[in-house]
Amino acid sequence: MAAEIPRLHPDTIEAVREQSDIVDVISDRVALRKRGRDYLGLCPFHDEKTPSFSVSPSKQLYYCFGCGAGGNVFKFLMETGQQSFADVVLDLAKRYSVPIKTLEPERHRELQRQLTLREQLHEILAVAANFYQHALHQPQGRAARDYLIERRGLSDSTLQTFQLGYAPAGWDTLHRYLVEHKRYPEALVEQVGLIQPRKSGSGYIDRFRNRIAIPIADAQGRTIGFGSRALTPDDEPKYLNSPETPLFDKSNTLFALDKARSAIAKQDCAIVVEGYFDAIALHAAGIANTVAALGTAFTDRQLRQVLRFTESKQVVLNFDADAAGIKATQRAITDVEALVYSGHVQLRVLNLPDGKDADEFLRVRSDATRRNPAQQYRDLLDSAPLWLDWQIDCLVDNRDLKHADQYQQVAKGMVQLLARLDDATQRAHYLRTCADRLSQGDARTIDLYSKSLLAQIERLPRRNGRPVGSATAPEAASTGELLARAEALLLAIYLHCPDRRTDIAGRLEREELFFSLAPHRTLWQHICDLETADPTLCSDFGNRLLARLQDRLASDRALAPTASLLQLDEAKARDLDRASVSVRAAIAALEQVTCEKRKRYCLEQWQQLDPVADADRSQYYYQEFYNAQRRSAELARQRSQIPLTEILNA
């Protein structure tokens, strides 16, 4: 039976409330993007593709406009972690180093003993890191030091920065130092993964022996575990990590994040590599916005870690470019696809020439050319393709499309990729991209291939009454397609009708609406950046804004899917003739999508409640469902006066 939690002193609760950062806490579970003074993300309390979850750092509150969930940092952790109030306060107190006071002094002392256990584990790991670092500079560490300096090309400064060390070859050297000399409890040394029981007989042996020791730190810079590399080919495995411990969770940890976080924020981009030495080499070369995935699959939990520090959510995967690395990249994209397809991350992929990893690239280039290898890396980084362009490249590379079987395999793979795109603008862009690749330079056949790909998407198995990933008839537009068309229309009017810009911006702000699809959000961010730098662009009837965006289109590949919105063709010109009513219809469509999500959530909650035992909550959700239904119907009537689908498909 779990021990009873003591009653916490009100001063402790208030201190925890004051020192906790709601954005920092929620970012552990939700990928947040800055929007004005607040932050926005996908709600963790209901299923949604359009971000409606808002976090206010000034108010220290969160609220979801889709489902109505809201509260402070305590309520968030209680609901997402299914924890009691006392448990939540205690966890936050540990996180922010707030002293604990309780109303029962004897229980307070027991609680303090429990809380100091983690600090003892941190201390043992820190002492072990110092021991390994010292051993590296002793005669027994000569081979390890030569390996790091001569083979890896690392400087003394880099060795010091990353606290690289050497685990001696003896069976129990570290064990004797920590337990006999430093007097740490043997059970705690085992608990942090530094020693392990002997396979035969009694006693313990060191986990790491005759290896390079690489401390792994949490985001605050505290050592939580170790990675290691064997010094001889006979030692297996080549790389060995600490086991899972109370401090070390491999799937939720990124190597060098403590050293990279400020650079990630400054450059607004995170680079993720596979290995320790890739990250160390890039940091040594001045590319400090780099973290490593500990040689394992890159998880969505790790992705959320780096997204906390990049406002525009730009992440570049730079895994090895050999067959295994490409497979790992594909697996990583699959593992984080929920964030990628929702547009919460602008993911790009960098494959270095000749199948090299970052460490090899920097060392070989430094030896073979006079050019700065770090600058060569940055140049390649700037031209790294978006994840979907990279996947298309992988499908086509080393395939002869003149052979029917290979053509069929490539086309099938393209269809599977395109079918998952719900954004109509993005799908149209990549349909043409794929058709262009299949045409092999024959521009006359691009339209034919586009129609062929689209037809194959339409024939895919149906889900919820529509082909997976395909476009439906205008009269039965899905929520995702309605949203895509409404956002595209608003952007087109904003770009080509300067006199409507103030109205559109004002409506979006008043109704608390925003561009949720990734390409549209990227374009809107560029618009806002340009207008912030030069406010005259907002009402400039010479339309210098379009010219500035055309310049950015050439340098930012993330804008490519929205390139068509910058062009004014005959169809868009007809839309602009009735811009006023088109804006109203599009705004109504965005709000209606929000209402429909609210309806679904309230209905699900109401159906799960007992109308007698949960009478108040049952009545609340029923009333909220009714209000959302009534508002949605009103918005549908507004849109029907000038159908949005007619406007967008004219």
**Both tokens of residue 406?**
């290979």
Is the model's pLDDT at 403 over the cut of 60? yes
What distance in Å separates the CA atoms of residue 369 and residue 362, rounded to the nearest whole number?
11
CA 550 → CA 385, 523, 547, 567, distances in Å? 19, 11, 5, 10
Q: Look at 66-75, 112-121, 149-158, 598-607 and tell me which has the smallest mean pLDDT.
A: 598-607
For 282, the 3-state DSSP assignment is helix
Contacts 24+ apart (CB under 8 A), 499-503: 499/539, 499/541, 500/579, 500/580, 500/583, 501/538, 501/539, 502/538, 502/539, 503/583
Is the model's pLDDT at 465 over the cut of 50? no
Measured in degrees and rounded to the nearest 5, phi and psi for residue 67 equal -120, -10
Give the per-residue pLDDT at 270: 95
- Taking the CB of residue 545, how many other CB atoms lie within 10 A of it? 24
Residue type at position 56: S
- Taking the CB of residue 601, how many other CB atoms lie within 10 A of it? 24
Is the model's pLDDT at 469 over the cut of 50? no
Residue with tokens 């030692």: 235
**Both tokens of residue 298?**
């890159």
Give the per-residue pLDDT at 646: 46
Section 613-620 average pLDDT: 67
Give the per-residue pLDDT at 539: 75
CA 139 → CA 110, 215, 631, distances in Å? 45, 21, 77
Give the per-residue pLDDT at 113: 65
Is the model's pLDDT at 318 over the cut of 60? yes
Q: Look at 208-222, 531-545, 625-639 and tell me which has the smallest mean pLDDT.
A: 625-639
What distance in Å separates the CA atoms of residue 510 and residue 257, rounded to the nearest whole number?
38
| CB 426, CB 517: distance < 8 Å | yes
Give the per-residue pLDDT at 475: 30
Closest CA to 314 of 358, 276, 270, 254: 270
Give the per-residue pLDDT at 648: 43
Look at 411 and 595; give whichever has higher pLDDT.
411
Model pLDDT for residues 285-312, shown as the tens digit of each residue: 999 999 999 866 788 888 888 888 887 7
- Report the percentage of the chain scoring pLDDT > 90: 31
Look at 393 and 544; give whichever has higher pLDDT.
393
Give the per-residue pLDDT at 621: 67
Model pLDDT for residues 332-378, shown as the tens digit of each residue: 888 887 777 666 688 999 999 887 889 999 987 555 555 688 999 99
What distance in Å separates the CA atoms of residue 400 and residue 406, rounded to the nearest whole number?
6
Closest CA to 277 of 193, 217, 362, 345: 362
Q: Where are the alpha helices (DSSP H) in 35-151?
A: 73-81, 85-95, 105-136, 142-146
Is the model's pLDDT at 394 over the cut of 70? yes
Section 157-177 average pLDDT: 96
- Report the percentage of the chain scoring pLDDT > 70: 83
Concatenate the DSSP letters of all residues of 2-26 into one string: PPPPPPBPHHHHHHHHHH--HHHHH
How far is C-alpha 389 from the chain's CA centre?
Answer: 19
| CB 35, CB 27: distance < 8 Å | no
Beta strands in 413-508 (DSSP E): 462-463, 466-467
**Both tokens of residue 390?**
């990279």
Model pLDDT for residues 178-231, shown as the tens digit of each residue: 999 999 999 999 999 999 999 887 899 999 999 999 999 988 889 999 999 999
Closest CA to 605 of 626, 594, 620, 627: 620
Look at 174 and 64; give whichever has higher pLDDT.
174
